[in-house]
A = this chain, B = another copy of it.
Amino acid sequence: MELYLYDTTLRDGTQRVGLSLSLEDKLKIARLLDEFGVAYIEGGWPGSNPKDAEFFRRVRLRRARAVAFGSTRRAGARPEEDSNLRALLAAETPAVALVGKSSSFHVAHVLETTLDENLEMIADSVRLMKARGKEVIYDAEHFFDGYLEDPNYALQTIRSAAEAGADWITLCDTNGGSLPSWIHSVVRAVIPVAPRLGIHAHNDGELAVANSLAAVEAGARLVQGTINGYGERCGNANLVSLAPTLQLKMGLRCVPAEHLGRLTELSRAVSEIANLSPDFHAPYVGASAFAHKGGLHAAAVEKVTASYEHVPPETVGNRRHIVVSELSGRSNVRARSGQLGISLAGRDALVLARVKELESQGYQFEGAEGSFELLVRRSDPAYVPPFEVLHVRVRSDLRQGDAIAAEATVKLRVQGESAHTAAEGNGPVQALDRALRKALLPSFPRLAGVRLADYKVRILDSDAATGATTRVLVEAACGAERWSTVGCSANIIEASCQALADSLELFLSRSQSEIEGTKEARRSCPSNRLS
């Protein structure tokens, strides 16, 4: 059976505190949603701001229908002259969403008009849109609260919209406080009046996904929500969790089957564009959604792949992840080293002890697997580091009105020689990064291909304020290869320096192994290893 996904990330999603999207951002997200296969994309409220009106002028969709959102006409206004309805028509979308009041309390106290006038406002607005050839989705605001308070009036509002020709009626749990059993029974009661029913749920009780499923089980066939559950207060129903549950567990077709494998990518791309950190613990798509940390589970997963996973991670484009941490047993350390292709040769207890010691100082290897790899490599008595940092000095100079400036001086030992140099940057960390590379490049020209892809700072004991321990995560890339490293110190410059230097060292020692490996293979001279 078909189920229609209706995305409102670009409208209701942007109501989230901390989220704002530029016009270009909105166009990028619309493209991703269209490719993923949602049925409707609500792009904004053209009557409320010029950015949204511009969005509708520029958006081009291949498969999804663009929806412009607005409210029913004002009390006492003629629909053709209502500025909001005019803005809706001016958006020239194939579909429009009209939001109207379902609660007699809200009609009296927020709209401040009569119950009959509200019914007319709904009917008039729907009729105008239908007369202009639009597909009309009528959003019944506060429906579940309104139905509790006055079921007859709430149903009358639905009848007004349906009789005026609305294509879909969406019941909204605007305050997000309803329970699934209430949602289920109300949807059952409304279906006879409006068979093409939708659900719009908010997450104020941590129940938006469950409330959407309850409505679907009761017969709703259109589900409104947002990517990653972004939305006002506690968010909207999360389409990223709903799509695989509906499709894989309830057998309802939402998106083309082969597109579900792009779900993780979609979720992360939208959080990147929205400039919000992805939630590592997000269902289905989080980096930790298929992580196995406890020694017991990791051992069990090795035995029986599916025994601790509710769906195969690859069906949603995610992957299984064995985590190394304080709670780990040696089996995790071995499994992780095995995934890295490095033999521990009995040093697993040593490595585990070192992990636990560093974690107690504030390091964290869960997000910095490059540092874990380096730790494993360094545990080999034959390991020779490609360089050592001897001295680093960083200066920032801020003068009122002037351009900002930072300078870093570094002194390294590289292959027995001293390399001493300096560089400038926007800020101290950039200056430091440039100086390190400048010192290393003459000896290691292959570093030219390495770029920094991400730089993150976390204050650990942040109530120690500016004296707190700082953890820096650096992600570097070379072609398609990516690795991340961690540094930790009360001095952000030192923490950054550690993470940057480790990042470069790991790259150099990995590529050194390859160079040596190639030489070995060619010359069959295993004794020639750098040790």
A446 CB, min distance to chain B CBs, angstroms: 19
- What residues of chain B lie closer than 8 Å to A426, measured between beta carbons? 467, 490-491
Which of A110, A323, A500 gathers most chain B CB within 10 Å?
A110
A428 touches B15 (CB 8 A): no
A207 CB, min distance to chain B CBs, angstroms: 5
CA–CA, A48 to B328, complex, Å?
Answer: 11
CA–CA, A391 to B465, complex, Å?
Answer: 23
Which stretch from A125-133, A255-263, A285-293 is at the chain B interface? A285-293
B456 touches A459 (CB 8 A): yes
Indicate if A233 sits at the interface (CB-CB under 8 A): yes
Indicate if A153 sits at the interface (CB-CB under 8 A): no
Knowing A234-B282, A400-B388, the reply to whether A294 touches B465 (Cβ < 8 A) is no
A18 touches B466 (CB 8 A): no
Number of copies: 2
- What residues of chain B lie closer than 8 Å to A282, measured between beta carbons? 234
Knowing A210-B207, A400-B390, A452-B466, the reply to whether A110 touches B300 (Cβ < 8 A) is yes
Knowing A272-B463, A286-B234, the reply to whether A427 touches B492 (Cβ < 8 A) is yes
- What residues of chain B lie closer than 8 Å to A323, measured between beta carbons? 17
A428 contacts which of B180, B304, B396, B461 (Cβ < 8 Å)?
B396
- Chain A interface residue count, Cβ-Cβ cutoff 8 angstroms: 126
A467 touches B430 (CB 8 A): yes
A275 touches B460 (CB 8 A): yes
A311 touches B177 (CB 8 A): yes
Knowing A249-B177, A300-B110, A451-B465, the reply to whether A232 touches B293 (Cβ < 8 A) is yes
Which residues in A have some Cβ–Cβ distance to B below 8 Å? 14-18, 20, 48, 105-106, 109-110, 142, 174-177, 179-181, 203-207, 209-211, 213-214, 217, 229, 232-235, 238, 241, 245, 249-250, 272, 275, 280-284, 286-297, 300, 303-304, 307-311, 323, 325-327, 359, 364, 366-367, 388-400, 404, 406, 425-430, 432-433, 451-463, 465-468, 470, 474, 489-494, 496-497, 500
